[in-house]
Amino acid sequence: NREIRLASRPVGMPTPDDFALAETPLRQPAEGELLVRNLWMSVDPYMRGQMIDQKSYVTPFQVGEALYGRAVGVVVESRHKDFAPGDHVFHMLGWRDYAVGSWEGFEKIDVEQAPAQAYLGVLGAPGLTAYTGLFRIAGLKDGDSVFVSAAAGAVGSVACQLAKAHGCRVVGSAGSDEKCAWLRDVAGVDAVINYRTCGDLNAALAAAAPDGLDVYFDNVGGDHLEAALNQMKVFGRIALCGMIGGYNDVAPAPGPSNLMLAISRSLKLQGFVVRHHMDLRPRFREETGALIRAGKMHVQETVEHGLENAPAAFLKLFTGDNTGKMLVKLD
Return the axis-axis angle of helices 201-208 and 222-231, rounded to nearest 10°.
40
Residues 247-306 that bind ligand NDP (CB under 6 A): 272-274
Please say which residue, 89 or 154, places its beta carbon nearer to ligand NDP. 154
Q: Which stretch binds ligand NDP (CB under 6 A): 4-12, 44-52, 107-115, 260-268?
A: 44-52
- Tell me which of 69, 94, 172, 242 binds ligand NDP, using CB under 6 A: 242
Strand locations in the chain, DSSP E? 2-6, 19-23, 33-42, 71-78, 88-91, 98-102, 107-108, 145-148, 169-174, 191-194, 213-218, 232-240, 268-271, 301-305, 325-329
Per-residue burial over 168-194, b if 16 or more Cβ lie within 10 Å, else e, is bbbbbbbbbeebbebbeeebebbbbbb
Q: Judging by DSSP bridges, how do beta strands 33-42 and 71-78 pair with one another?
A: antiparallel
Contact 149, 219 (CB under 8 A): yes
- Tell me which of 4, 146, 148, 150 binds ligand NDP, using CB under 6 A: 150
For the bound state, the minimum distance from the C-beta of residue 195 to ligand NDP, rounded and expressed in Å, comes to 6
Q: Which stretch binds ligand NDP (CB under 6 A): 15-23, 40-48, 139-147, 209-217?
A: 40-48
Please say which residue, 29 or 324, places its beta carbon nearer to ligand NDP. 324
Instruction: Compute how many residues bind ligand NDP; rule: CB under 6 A.
Output: 31
Residues 161-220 that bind ligand NDP (CB under 6 A): 174-176, 179, 219-220
Does residue number 136 form part of the binding site for ligand NDP (CB under 6 A)? no
Q: Judging by DSSP bridges, how do beta strands 232-240 and 268-271 pair with one another?
A: parallel
**228 vs 200, 215, 237, 327, CA distance in Å?**
13, 9, 11, 30
- Tell me which of 60, 212, 306, 320 binds ligand NDP, using CB under 6 A: 320
User: What are the backbone dihedrals phi and psi of residue 183, each rounded to the nearest 5 degrees, phi first?
Assistant: -60, -45
Residue 171: strand pairing partners: 147, 191
Please say which residue, 97 or 218, places its beta carbon nearer to ligand NDP. 218
For the bound state, the minimum distance from the C-beta of residue 82 to ligand NDP, rounded and expressed in Å, comes to 28
Q: Which stretch binds ligand NDP (CB under 6 A): 8-16, 107-115, 146-154, 280-288?
A: 146-154
- The residues of the shown chain that bind ligand NDP, judged by CB under 6 A, are 44-46, 125-126, 129, 150, 152-156, 174-176, 179, 219-220, 241-245, 272-274, 317-318, 320, 322, 326
